[in-house]
Amino acid sequence: MRRVSAGALLLTAALLTGCGDDGYEPSGPFRPLLEGAPPQVGPPPSSAPNPGRPAEPGAEETDGDPAVVATGLAVPTGLALLPDGTAIVGERDSGRILQVFPDRSPARELMIVPGVDTAGDGGLLGLAASPTYPEDGLLYAYVSTAVDNRVVRFPIGGTPNAVVTGIPRGEVHNGGGLVFGADGTLYVGTGDTGNPALASDPASLGGKVLHVDVFGRPLGAGPVFTSGHRDVTAVCVGEEDRLFAADAARDGADELNALTEGQDYGVAGPVVEFVPGEDGLGGCAVAGDAVFLGALDGQRVHAVPVDASDTVSGELEEFLGGRYGRLRTVVADPTGALWITTSNRDGTGTPAEDDDKVLRINPPSSAGGSPL
């Protein structure tokens, strides 16, 4: 018989409090938007999206940079792909939600997520589209409030309802990883807020990867899938639901972890570490047989070839080094192209006039082959 810890019982009770058919009732500082009718998500006014071919790294600029699909944003941190091939992008500080088109049509502002608190490195830190988005039109966001970090969900233009609350909030290490697995369940990456004790505390949601259903209800004995993390800025899924996490640290090396349920990553070794100057991991995507990681401080994308045993299977590669500045979110679309956000207006970077940007490129052919 499987034993259930007291900490797991406490976390489960906290997560289930107030849980109904539509998730949690709004709480904290969130308020509905009242300005007119909700905007519609759709193709550009003149035509449907025509993504064409994504740009190659280092492609020649004939009619503007072919890798750039959106400009003039401010710290785009969350990015979720929709079934129609467009992307929903969330800005960290403003809470703005925009639709970005692969054919480089102008980005369309859709709404502002209210109540986002940007103290420290908080803000709107992650986005994911519902696994049943064509039916329910719901987006999930990982956001900081004045009292906690939490996951909320909402239709475009609608009121955010809480899904997971009570994730510790601090000046640093606030997490933000958010991804749905192939089975439609949600993985949430959190941070230790600069207090390493939270990562190993079974009664805390900090420094963990959580596993819940679409309503925020814990799966298994409790919500904690893995523990011992510092700042899980991104979680990504490969084939057969293999999970990887980008775990950043203000001090020390950043890590790529291959996630196994129940593992403590304060003890378990990473797939690979990145030393200061190459790190600042903010994004994670699987395409081909590689895991791609956006690096803020490193100003590049790392490509890590990983075999079926979750070990490095070849030479690590990197691309886009220094070309677009600080690179944050990385998401792979069904064609294998990578959508990447820059983060040059985050107070650390040196922004160009048209920053921040969203890029869409093909990874180098040498960086990926057969699917993971």
Fold of 75-364: Neuraminidase (2.120.10)
Two tokens at 247? 């775990």
> Which tokens in the block code for residue 92?
């960290």
Question: Cα dist. 143→83, 158, 199, 276 in Å?
Answer: 24, 16, 19, 27
Cβ 161 vs Cβ 22: under 8 Å: yes
Q: Is 241 helix (H, G, I), strand (E, B) or coil?
A: helix
- pLDDT of res. 328: 98
Using DSSP, how many helices (H) and how many strands (E) does the chain show?
Answer: 3, 24
Instruction: Give the span between the Cα atoms of 340 and 301, in whole angstroms.
Output: 9
pLDDT band at 39 (very low <50, low <70, confident <90, very high): low
Give CA–CA dist 246/272, Å, rounded: 10
Summarize pLDDT for 211-259 with one digit per residue, the tens. 999 999 999 889 999 999 999 999 999 988 899 999 998 888 999 999 9
Cβ–Cβ < 8 Å for 297, 280: yes
The pLDDT tens digits of the residues spanning 175-185 come to 999 999 999 99
How confident is the model at residue 288, as a pLDDT? 87
Q: Is 358 in contact with 89 (CB distance < 8 Å)? A: yes
Least-confidence region, from 40-44, 93-97, 276-280, 350-354? 40-44
Strand 254-259 vs strand 272-274: parallel, antiparallel, or unpaired? Answer: antiparallel
Cα separation, 295 vs 277, whole angstroms = 9
**Tokens representing residue 339 in the block:** 């959508």
Q: Rounded distance, CA 69 to CA 250, Å?
A: 31
- 152, amino acid identity: V
For the cut 60, the answer to whether the pLDDT of residue 4 exceeds it is no
Q: What is the mean pLDDT of residues 139-147?
A: 98
Q: Which of 305, 346, 312 is nearest to 327 (CA)?
A: 346
For residue 340, how far is the Cα from the chain centroid? 11
- Kindly list the distances between the CA atom of residue 230 and the CA atoms of 114, 205, 343, in Å, as whole numbers in the listed order: 27, 12, 21
Q: With contact defined as beta carbons under 8 Å apart, do 34 and 66 qualify? A: no
Residue keyed to tokens 């093909």: 362
This prediction has a pTM of 0.88
